[in-house]
Structure 1
Amino acid sequence: MTGRNARPGRLWLASAAFVALAATAGAASAQPLTVVELFTSQGCSSCPPANANLIKVKDRPGVLALSFNVTYWDYLGWKDIFGRQEFTQRQVNYEPSLGHDGPFTPQVVVNGSADAVGARSGEIERLISASPHAQGPALSLGQGKISIGSGKAPGGQADIWLVRYAKGVVEVPVARGENTGRTLPHGNVVHSLQRLGSWSGQATTLPLPAATGGLSTAVLVQSPGGGPILAAAAD
């Protein structure tokens, strides 16, 4: 075989390798996500260990870790700078199905269906290991749209939630309240939560609003009223 004839063979092999790598990357990005939600507060003295535990798992493949800062400890003297009433309400909605009379911090909820006290060493890892992968519809984000495949919507419908969060770790100095004088780390802090609509089981495409302020995006398909998360995707 001459050098001229050998070159196309090398190009074909290179192209085949590229296609294989692309397919592998696509399969990795389609990996089902385990959603770990930490309900925390800068005014809660037992929350810093839970914040640290979430930070340990936030970069784990297949895990979407989110910090939701609640507002009900603000009266202790420090108003949580990330706290929002809609985050508090999200936690309140979870409590009946999880067997609790009311919300508490720190609380970690995995896939909307199991919870633990997030400050306990190993509790987040245990829940992640024990939680089955979501069995909901295919879900993807891209090209300015949200694509949801067909499937079964428990009860006939599910909520579609848009989450904007700051990927990474931010340090917050606390000047008053139970954590006076401490600088608290927070991982993947949620800045906004918006219900975009509902999914009835049919394949659906929705516009994905552009993110601002350098925030990252996650979309959750979830049974209403604080039920299990059926599917999740993040950019």
Structure 2
Amino acid sequence: MKSIRIFITVACLGLAAVVTQAFTFIKSEKLTRAVTPGKGFAVIELFTSEGCSSCPSADALVARVEKEVTDKPVYILAYHVDYWNRLGWKDVFSSAEYSARQNQYADWLNLSSVYTPQIVVNGRKEFVGSDESTLRNAIKSDLEIASKSELALNDIKVNGDNATVHYTTGAVNNSVLIVALVQKNATTKVQRGENGGRTLSHVQIVTRLKSIALNNSKDGTENISLPQGFDPLKWELIGFVQNKANGQITGATKAQFPSAMSAQVSN
């Protein structure tokens, strides 16, 4: 009987140790998950033009994706380049600044030339802008990679044709903060060029692009000029932190203008 009691006691102690170890593991796992840095994100930069006959399919693709990812940290920016303007139709949303940004990506990604439509995701991968499967796979994989830089845009104030926004960020080594003023949607009836006679729909049109030198400063306030007829419900701000050496985007967020936020709350 004594030996049986000893066996039972040892067995109970062993079981308790296993339970304690399992509890410790579960507790440790929860703590590890709790301290994991920010969620993944995907910054989708589309280079497009109303003068390019291949671009409407890419515009339509990002519009579909935008509707599907409203609850996810996916940020779409459509840059209308200006090098198609000489071929019969001047894209009203185009800018040489956006063409220059695309050429910068060509340098970062070791491309021999630029083209439209082109998509760049998180500054790291590029492909034809109408390639739906590649885009969806890129979004899925990047949402699973934790953000390296924290970023917040807040305290937005509109005063006439200007807005101010306060930003806070984490890692700033060799990086810049880029803030884009984005028009959520628009349509254009194209009169000439490759898309002559077509009415084109656009989403997430970049209309202002501001690069802010962080210089080891993790917070600050920046001015953004607003267009005539500005309607806060039709515009938003998207910000992201980008490495100056290789173009990789390490953190991103977006913010609504004050009356737009009030409208969302009331709805």
TM-score (norm 1): 0.78
For the pair shown, the structure with the greater C-alpha radius of gyration is 2
Q: Say which structure is richer in helix.
A: 2
**After superposition, where does 1:220-231 map in structure 2 within 5 Å?**
220-224=240-244, 227-231=247-251
Equivalence for 2:254: 234
Equivalence for 2:121: 110
**After superposition, where does 1:68-79 map in structure 2 within 5 Å?**
68-79=79-90
Q: Paired residues, what number?
A: 199
**After superposition, where does 1:194-233 map in structure 2 within 5 Å?**
194-200=210-216, 204-209=218-223, 212=226, 213=230, 214=232, 215-224=235-244, 227-233=247-253
Match of 1:160 among 177, 182, 192: 177
Match of 2:131 among 113, 116, 120: 120
**After superposition, where does 1:179-190 map in structure 2 within 5 Å?**
179-190=195-206
**After superposition, where does 1:1-235 map in structure 2 within 5 Å?**
31-59=39-67, 60=69, 61-131=72-142, 133=145, 135-143=147-155, 144-149=165-170, 151=171, 153=172, 156-167=173-184, 169-200=185-216, 204-209=218-223, 212=226, 213=230, 214=232, 215-224=235-244, 227-235=247-255
Structure 1 residues 101 and 160: alpha-carbon distance in aligned structure 2, compared to 1, 3 A threshold: same
The sequence identity of aligned pairs, in percent, is 32
CA contact (8 A) 1:90 1:226 kept: no
Moved more, 50-59 or 218-227: 218-227
CA contact (8 A) 1:134 1:231 kept: no
Unaligned 5+ runs, structure 1: 1-29
CA distance in 2, matches of 1:226, 1:73: 27
C-alpha root-mean-square deviation of aligned residues, in Å?
1.9
Moved more, 122-131 or 207-216: 207-216
TM-score (norm 2): 0.69
CA distance in 2, matches of 1:58, 1:35: 12
